[in-house]
């Protein structure tokens, strides 16, 4: 009973105290379609040893990304994380519990968050960055909410190259805030027509580069069109390593830059936890969600760090708050900062160049496979191809041969009508043997 401390009588008494007739009544606001009917398909009661065996058996059915050729991207990328990252992250200076509200005992945490902000601002070419957010998609949604507050307008234009999952997260938050979301149809070179949607009611334009199809775009003209209409430009980046090679959002005129930081220091981890990057122009800092760490001096003149700006609803009145973000993904932010510090600017640029070279080799090899057409013309380490067969079926067939061939676009956006489009990514972990294996297997499947 050590894991089940409450008896049926205990539960009944608790329900009486709060005035609820049943446990189910506590969840009546959750739509029925979102509730599980019945119990989870696991043993109802078992000892610790039995549970370990059950879970180990389930885990053994998974295939790790490093077990063979792996070409998945679409917002989460396999990169090499040095062993030193895991070692440094465990040092006592960084193991301050929870959030650093007491600077006198949290200098290690505050310093790495300060360094993190500095790195993110430099990467994105922006003036100031916050102390991280949940992940890239929620950072994008918070950026739209911020633009709504700044411009007092209620229309957000989303490029057809924006990752569909990001678009869905934005739509979820925008609906609550009364913001009208105009999402363009999915397109490889989606940024070409986004300017036609901008008008005087537009709060922001959200573009992604490289976009979900891998297409890299200079969005300077879009920035000019947005600013001419009094709107803000939000630039999304899902593959942050690309900022080591491509023009930064700040250089292209972005007002807000958001990104997924998973590629640096953080493993795939079954899809999370990840870390959201968020940076803005200096004039917008007061409306930036989350927290901001700053440098100061203590009573004896020594360098120190403090929370400078905290506009979450935990800190100030809800009607004055800029967000209700409840965590800054501190552990992932620390891993990001350590990895970035180990790379340095030169290392990041070299890593980015290697990624691009690998992707070019992959695209060249696939272009020679009958039934495969490379669609993306300007890419970093990811691109889209059109297959002569449905992409999902091809991926399943190759998986049986131990090759994870990428992500069918239909998995991200089932209603887009792009069932024959496959997204593939190549990183520094991709080997010539991996590319050769994929090419040979794809040739057989497509024949």
pLDDT digits (tens, 9 = 90+) for 196-209: 999 999 999 999 99
- Of the candidates 108, 201, 89, 102, the one whose C-alpha atom is nearest the C-alpha of residue 156 is 201
- Of the candidates 51, 433, 426, the one whose C-alpha atom is nearest the C-alpha of residue 214 is 426
Question: Which residues fall within 8 angstroms of residue 210, CB to CB, at 6 or more apart?
Answer: 216, 217, 237, 238, 239, 242, 246, 379, 380, 382
CA distances from 197 to 184, 202, 235 (A): 9, 9, 16
Q: What is the pLDDT of residues 126-135, one digit of tens each?
A: 999 998 899 9
Residue intervals in the chain for CATH 3.40.640.10 = 83-340
Global pTM?
0.89
Q: What is the pLDDT of residues 344-358, one digit of tens each?
A: 999 999 999 999 999
For residues 221 and 209, give the distance between their C-alpha atoms in angstroms, rounded to a whole number: 14
Is 166:136 a contact under the CB 8 Å cutoff? yes
CATH (residue range 83-340): 3.40.640.10
Centre a 10 Å sphere on the Cβ of residue 427 and count the other Cβ atoms it contains: 22
pLDDT at 88: 93
Residue intervals in the chain for CATH 3.90.1150.10 = 65-80+345-446
| E runs forming strands in 86-231 | 128-129, 155-158, 180-183, 204-208
Q: What is the pLDDT of residues 57-109, one digit of tens each?
A: 989 998 899 999 999 999 999 999 999 999 999 888 786 656 677 888 888 88
Structure tokens at 442: 């794809």
Collect contacts of 87-91 with beta carbons under 8 A, ≥24 apart.
Answer: 88/338, 89/331, 89/334, 89/335, 89/338
DSSP state string for 144-158: HHHHHHHH---EEEE
Residue listed under structure tokens 């397109």: 187
Higher pLDDT, 176 or 279: 279
CA 179 to chain centre: 22
Please list the residues that pair with 305 across neighbouring strands: 295
Per-residue confidence band for 172, with pLDDT thresholds at 50, 70 and 90: very high
Helices (H), 368-446: 391-399, 409-412, 432-446
For residues 99 and 82, give the distance between their C-alpha atoms in angstroms, rounded to a whole number: 26
Residue listed under structure tokens 């957000």: 156
Tell me which of 31-45, 55-69, 121-135, 294-308 is least confident: 31-45
The total number of residues shown for the chain amounts to: 447
| E runs forming strands in 141-246 | 155-158, 180-183, 204-208, 232-237
CATH (residue range 65-80+345-446): 3.90.1150.10
Higher pLDDT, 327 or 54: 54
Is 239:263 a contact under the CB 8 Å cutoff? yes
CA 100 to chain centre: 24
pLDDT at 317: 66
């Amino acid at each position: 009973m050590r894991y089940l401390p409450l008896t049926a009588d205990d539960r009944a008494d608790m329900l009486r105290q709060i005035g609820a007739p049943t446990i189910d009544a506590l969840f009546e606001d959750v739509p029925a379609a979102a509730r599980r009917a019945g119990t989870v398909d696991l043993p109802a009661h078992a000892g610790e040893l039995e549970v370990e065996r059950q879970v180990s058996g389930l885990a053994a059915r998974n295939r790790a990304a490093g077990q063979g050729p792996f070409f998945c991207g679409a917002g989460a990328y396999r990169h090499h994380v040095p062993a030193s990252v895991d070692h440094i992250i465990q040092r006592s200076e960084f193991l301050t519990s929870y959030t650093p509200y007491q600077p006198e005992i949290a200098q290690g945490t505050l310093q790495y968050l300060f360094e993190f902000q500095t790195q993110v601002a430099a990467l994105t070419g922006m003036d100031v960055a916050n102390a991280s957010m949940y992940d890239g998609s929620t950072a994008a949604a918070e950026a739209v909410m911020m633009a709504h507050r700044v411009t007092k307008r209620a229309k957000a234009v989303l490029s057809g190259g924006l990752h569909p999952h990001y678009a869905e997260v934005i739509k979820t938050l925008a609906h609550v805030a009364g913001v009208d979301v105009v999402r363009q149809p999915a397109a490889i070179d989606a940024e070409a027509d986004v300017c036609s949607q901008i008008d005087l009611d537009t709060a922001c334009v959200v573009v992604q580069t490289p976009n979900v199809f891998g297409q890299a775009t200079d969005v300077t003209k879009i920035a000019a069109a947005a600013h001419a209409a009094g709107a803000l430009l939000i630039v999304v980046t899902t593959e942050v390593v690309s900022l080591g090679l491509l023009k930064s959002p700040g250089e292209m005129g972005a007002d807000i830059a958001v990104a997924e930081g998973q590629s640096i220091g953080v493993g795939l981890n079954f899809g999370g936890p990840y870390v959201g990057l968020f940076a803005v122009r200096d004039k917008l800092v007061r409306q930036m969600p989350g927290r901001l760490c700053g440098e100061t001096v203590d009573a004896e003149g020594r360098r120190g760090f403090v929370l400078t700006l905290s506009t979450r609803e935990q800190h100030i009145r809800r009607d004055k708050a800029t967000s209700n973000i409840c965590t800054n993904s501190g552990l992932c932010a620390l891993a990001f900062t350590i990895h970035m510090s180990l790379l340095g600017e030169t290392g990041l640029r070299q890593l980015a160049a290697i990624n691009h070279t690998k992707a070019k080799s992959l695209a060249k090899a696939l272009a020679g496979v009958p039934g495969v057409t490379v669609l993306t013309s300007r890419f970093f380490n990811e691109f889209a191809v059109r297959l002569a067969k449905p992409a999902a079926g091809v991926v399943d067939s190759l998986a049986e041969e131990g090759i994870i061939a990428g992500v069918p676009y239909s998995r991200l956006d089932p209603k887009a009508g792009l069932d024959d489009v496959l997204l593939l990514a190549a990183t520094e972990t991709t080997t010539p043997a991996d590319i050769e294996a994929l090419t040979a297997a794809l040739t057989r499947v497509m024949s």
